[in-house]
Every structure is written in structure tokens, then in C-alpha cells.
Amino acid sequence: MDANKRLRYDKISEELTKLVGGRENIQGVAHCATRLRIVLKDNDLADLKAIEDVDLAKGVFVAGDQVQIIFGAGLVNDVYAVFAENNNMKNMSLSDLKTEANKKMNPLQRIIKALSDVFVDIMPGILAAALLTGLSGVLGNMGFVRDNDTLYGINTLINIASGAIFGFLPLAVSYSACKRFGGRPILGIVMGCIMLSNSLADAYAAAQGSVEVTTLHIFGLGVELVGFQGGIIVALLMGFVTAKLDQFFEKKVPEVIRLLVSPLLTTLVGALLLFTVIGPVGRGLSSGITNALVWMTQNLGVFGYGVFSGLQQLVVITGLHHIFGAIEAQLLADTGRNFLNPLMSVAIIAQGGAVLGYLFLHKKNTKIRELCIPSFVSVLFGITEPALFGINLRYRFPIIGGCIGGALGGVVVYLTNLAAVGFGTTVVPGIALADPAGNGYVNYIIAHGVAIAGGFIMTLVLGRFMDKPQQGTAAPGNANTKDGSGNRKEEGNEAAREIPEEEKFYGYAKGELVAMEDVKDETFANKVLGDGTAIIPSEGKVFAPADGTILSVFDTKHAVCFQSSYGTELLIHIGVDTVNLKGKYFTAHVKDGDVVKKGQLMVEFDKEEIEKAGYDTVIPMIFTDLAPGRTLEKAAPCGTTGDEEIVTVLTGEKNG
């Protein structure tokens, strides 16, 4: 690191330390690909607004009880190194940092976090079941499917598959909960099998009185031999109890007989507690939750729906929303319909409408476009954190517009009696879960249309009174001015340098040029790290796309952070998820700080071996820190690349 950069990063470090409440307020620091992550003793001492204006910082928010400051790929490594050194912080991993953050949680937050972890682990299965249920419902309503033996048979198998997954959901929950709380996962599976044993009367049949229930008498207590089909709350409790029993007996049983006796005692005591204590308590909790929700729909009506969908995204900010998965599962098991799913879905899309409203207000601001477009794409798939923390909360009035839009969508959900037949997915993929009764699919689209339009329009209205002008200026110490020749000059801690109105970047690998949107990775395709282009390589070599400097070569050698001679920063990433190879099959021919010429070999990689290992070798080139007012003009994604130009960076004036 040269002296000028070191001075600049020292200044950033000094300013950040002051703004987060001083060195004594810092508990830990780490970084990921683009963000500096800091755990503080007291987040209230941090001046988040002032941190946004720190040199080179692109944004800041609090998530997972960490203050996360966005610097960008490559740059964050250098900022972290100086910040950690200046504050005498140990070299922490991200997992260490999360553990440090978890220590700050109160008991309620820890419970919610634990519930979240349980359902995250089994979410792929839940999503599969939910989408299969929706697909089966759609096909089952089509006459030509019912009339065709093959199609009818396929749909029947789909229905069996989805029903089986949901039918054994208590087993999956028990397994995941036992694993989460430190027990051996197989014992969670064993307890789940006991809950769903064929020796017990089916819970649904017992509730209808269509089967005879055997009652045992243990210690004077009447124990009914009824299964726990749909017992999600019971499964959560049993997973926790099984884990604690396993830990207890593993410590107390002598090692010589531990292998046989410890699991025996865990299963025996766990089964006794299941039928005598945990089962009745869990059923009582489940019944109470379901009855409370049903009461809300029957007594609060449209007001209850509107308030829930209007405020649901505020719950997301607190992290308490993770508990809804257990509630939805229990609601489905008890009533067969899930009215919470469409309410949460319209709340989500309304925040997307607010993002679009804010984008419309600042459509000429390049930085705002780069924030808003990827955030909105995430919303379409039910992920609102980028929209909430990156835009709506940051600028305040969009979150209000989004909440109003969500409330309007909730009103439509109530008026159309819209519900879902599953849970686990929302917005665009969530339409597959809509209950088709009463034109459910049409009503789903109408409710979401009202919500997104409401969020968009209310954000525009509120913006007239509450919006503050967003200047398209560079970060402090990096201001842009114009000289007499019409070229831009960048002034900062380094010597001023002229920036031309257009800057060209050339083929950095031989192969087929493709659009960034076609890269088979959500982060690249949604342009989370920035816009750019990509090449499907025909050989294993990566060259410098222009004259410039190597900012950073990743330890795994699969990615290079590059800065052109005019200061434009970009990231060249070889392959998708190739970080997992830990440097195998990669050879770097440059190192941090090297000055390179256009066409100079930077990295070689064994394309065939990487593909044999199961990795996509596409090479995205991402412009991670494009100055405001500068845009990209990309070559058409066709044919093969050579030494011709593939990307031109234009100033706002040149681009019209």
C-alpha cells in the first residue's frame, strides 16, 4: 500500500472510530466482499448519518446487530486492514463476529433467532412442498389434465409428493430444532418418528371422532395415544428438549457405556415427556395461536388485515418476522388455509413500489438507480432487506409510502377472501400458493397491483413534502471538476488527474460475450455489486482490460480488483462460487499494487479441471465504483471477444 493511500485510509479509520463511539465501544470487526462489519457495545453511540458521508463509503445500515458500511470489493480489504490495525482488533472471521453480535441479544431476540435458524435449515423442503402444492392446485383445475390419463397421473404424483412433505413436517422440524440446540440430529429424527408413529391414532381423524383413541394411565395421568400430525409447535419444543437431554446424558453417563445408554435414556425420557407434558402444552399453545388469528379475522375484519399488512415490514426490521413461519405452518395444519401469506406478500411488494417511487423522483441520479433497481428485483422474490435498509429506511418517507401501500393491499386481501395453501414463498413465485377458490389467482394479482401502485403513488406524494435533494457528487476527497478542455478532473488526496469524457475497456478474455443478466448467479445477474458484462471463456487466461493498477488479488486467486489509469474501479471474477476451490487450478501473474498495461496476462486457470469440478467458468467484469454521472455503453452480447473494445464508460454530458 503506497503512502498516499495509507494516509487516506488512516484518515477514514480515524473518522470511523470517532463516529462509532470510540475505540472502547468496538467489540469486533470483520469484512465480507463489499462491507466493513463492526459490532458495537452500544449502537446508539454510532452516528450513522455522518458515517454515510465518510470518504469512500457508499452506504451504511445496521443488520444482524452489526453496523455494516459498504465500501465495495477490493477497497474494503484495505480499509479493514487499516481500521483493524489502528484499533488493535483481533483478526475475526464473519462467524466469530456473528457470535459476538449474538451475545448482545436479549432473551426474546435469542429465541426468535433460534426459531429462524430452525426453519432456515429445512426451508428448501418447505419451498419444494409449497410450490408442488401450488402446481398441483393449478393443474387440478384444468379440464384437459383431468381428462388425460398421463397428465392426471403426473398431477396425482405431484400431489402425493407435496402432501408427504407437509405430512412429515413435524419430523423435519424436530430434526432441525435438535440440531440447532446442540443435540445429535438423528435423535431429533427418532423423536419425530415417535410423534408420527402408526401405533398412534391419526390426530386429524381423532379430532373428527372417526377413530377410537386409547387412553393410558401413567402416574395417575390420563395419556391419550394420539399422533402429532400438524404439531409444529410440539415438534419445536421436542427438538429443544431432546437436544438438552442428549447433552445432559452425554455428560453424566460413564464413557464405557455411553454409546448405548445415553441415546436410550434420551429417547425414553423424551418419549415420556412428549406424551405427558410437552404434547399437551404444545397443543395448548398451538390452539391458542390459531384461535387468536381466527378471532382477528372474524372480529377485526378489514381493519385487522390492513393494520397487519401495513405494519408487517416494520416487524422485518426488528427481525421478529422469522417466527411467522411456525405460525403459518400451524395455521395450515389447523385450518387448511393461510391468510397470513398473502398479507405478508402485499406488504413486501408495496415496499418495492416505494423503491420505484423513489427511483422515479431521482431517475437522473446514477447512484440512486444502482441502488434501486437491484433492490426492486430482490423484492420480486420476497427479499426486502436491500430495499428496506438501502433505500426506504435510509430516506425515511419511502418506508411510510410502502406501509400505506401494504395496508391497501391488505384491504383487497380481506375483500376477496384471499388465502394460500402453503407458506415459504411470496410475491412472484408466491402466486403458485394462492388458493384458487373464488378466482384466487386473479385476486392475488389485483391485491399485489394495488399494493405496488399504492406504495409508488404514496411515495411520490410524500416526496413532494419530505424529499431532500440527492446530489450526484463524488465522495468527499474525490470531487469532480471540469478543466478548460472539457475533460473532468478528479481532485483528492492524490494529484489531480484528467478524466476523459469516454474511457474504453477491451476484451479481458477470449470467448463469448454475454450480458450480465445471463450469468447463472443471482448476485451477478441482479447487479448487486454493480453493472458490467461477462465472458464465457474459451481458454484459461485473463488479461488486463486497460492500462491501470492491481488493487487486490484475492487469496484464492479467482478474482482481481483493478483500477484503470483514470481511476475507474472494477472487479474481474473468474467463475461462479469458485472461491470454494481455495486457489486450486488458479495461477496469479500479478500482485497487489502492480501497474499493468492493456492485454497483460493477470491470471491463468485450468478451465477444464474447474468445469470437471462442477463450477461455471463464466467471467463477469463488474464496475464496482462508477462515479455519479458516468454510465456504461456495452458491446452487443454476441460473437466472440478478442482485442476489441467491449465496454465504454461515458460521462453524463457525452451520454446525453
Active site residues: 32, 573
My answer on whether 283 and 394 are in the same domain is: no
614: Cβ–Cβ under 8 A, 6 or more apart, which residues?
none
My answer on whether 310 and 452 are in the same domain is: yes
Whether residue 640 is predicted with pLDDT greater than 90 in this model: the reply is no
My answer on whether 55 and 96 are in the same domain is: yes
- CA 558 to CA 585: how far, in whole Å? 9
Confidence class of residue 452 from pLDDT cuts 50, 70 and 90?
A: very high
My answer on whether 140 and 214 are in the same domain is: yes
Indicate the DSSP class of residue 434.
Answer: B
Using one digit for the tens of pLDDT, what is the confidence trace for 479-518?
344 444 344 444 433 334 456 778 888 889 998 888 888 8
Rounded to an integer, the average pLDDT of 577-582 is 84
My answer on whether 133 and 256 are in the same domain is: yes
Q: The CATH number of the domain where 41 resides is what?
A: 3.30.1360.60
**Whole-prediction pTM:** 0.47
Q: Which residues pair with 479 in a beta bridge?
A: 491
Using one digit for the tens of pLDDT, what is the confidence trace for 121-177?
776 777 677 677 767 767 877 888 888 899 999 989 988 887 787 778 889 889 988
My answer on whether 222 and 271 are in the same domain is: yes
Rounded to an integer, the average pLDDT of 51-65 is 75
Rounded to an integer, the average pLDDT of 354-367 is 86
Confidence class of residue 92 from pLDDT cuts 50, 70 and 90?
A: low
My answer on whether 160 and 93 are in the same domain is: no
* The three grid cell numbers given for residue 192, joined into one nine-digit string: 419425530
Q: Which residues pair with 383 in a beta bridge?
A: none
Q: The CATH number of the domain where 557 resides is what?
A: 2.70.70.10
**pLDDT value at residue 525:** 83
- CA 403 to CA 405: how far, in whole Å? 5
The torsion angle over the Cα atoms of residues 346, 176, 230 and 156, rounded to 10 degrees, is: 80
Residue 480 lies in a domain: no
Q: Where is the domain boundary, 422, 443, 466?
A: 466
Residue 391 lies in a domain: yes
First-residue to last-residue Cα distance in the chain: 38
Residue 495 lies in a domain: no
**pLDDT value at residue 175:** 92
Name which of 231, 210, 205, 224 is nearest 334 in CA terms.
231
Q: Taking a C-beta distance cutoff of 8 angstroms, is the pair 546, 565 a contact?
A: yes
- CA 10 to CA 55: how far, in whole Å? 11
Using one digit for the tens of pLDDT, what is the confidence trace for 169-201?
889 889 988 988 889 999 999 999 999 998 898
Mean pLDDT for the chain overall: 80
Residue 26 lies in a domain: yes
Whether residue 410 is predicted with pLDDT greater than 80 in this model: the reply is yes
Using one digit for the tens of pLDDT, what is the confidence trace for 512-566?
888 888 888 877 887 767 788 899 999 999 999 999 999 888 878 898 988 888 8
Confidence class of residue 655 from pLDDT cuts 50, 70 and 90?
A: very low
Q: Taking a C-beta distance cutoff of 8 angstroms, is the pair 310, 400 a contact?
A: no
**pLDDT value at residue 264:** 94
Residue 485, helix vs strand vs coil: coil
Q: pLDDT higher for 526 or 240? A: 240
**pLDDT value at residue 323:** 59
Q: Where is the domain boundary, 40, 72, 104?
A: 104
Q: Where is the domain boundary, 58, 88, 104?
A: 104
My answer on whether 317 and 417 are in the same domain is: yes
Q: Taking a C-beta distance cutoff of 8 angstroms, is the pair 406, 347 a contact?
A: yes
Residue 153 lies in a domain: yes
- CA 161 to CA 70: how far, in whole Å? 43
Q: Which domain does 585 fall in, by range? A: 501-651
Using one digit for the tens of pLDDT, what is the confidence trace for 581-606?
888 999 999 988 889 999 999 999 99
My answer on whether 273 and 132 are in the same domain is: yes
Whether residue 353 is predicted with pLDDT greater than 90 in this model: the reply is yes
- CA 479 to CA 501: how far, in whole Å? 16
Residue 94 lies in a domain: yes
CA dihedral sign, ordered 63, 64, 69, 71: negative
Residue 618 lies in a domain: yes
Note the Cα 220 to chain centre separation in Å.
Answer: 51
Pairing of strands 559-564, 511-515: unpaired
Whether residue 645 is predicted with pLDDT greater than 80 in this model: the reply is no
Total domains in the fold of the chain? 4
- CA 302 to CA 410: how far, in whole Å? 8
My answer on whether 92 and 142 are in the same domain is: no
Confidence class of residue 473 from pLDDT cuts 50, 70 and 90?
A: very low
My answer on whether 209 and 332 are in the same domain is: no
Confidence class of residue 385 from pLDDT cuts 50, 70 and 90?
A: low
My answer on whether 398 and 543 are in the same domain is: no
Rounded to an integer, the average pLDDT of 303-324 is 73
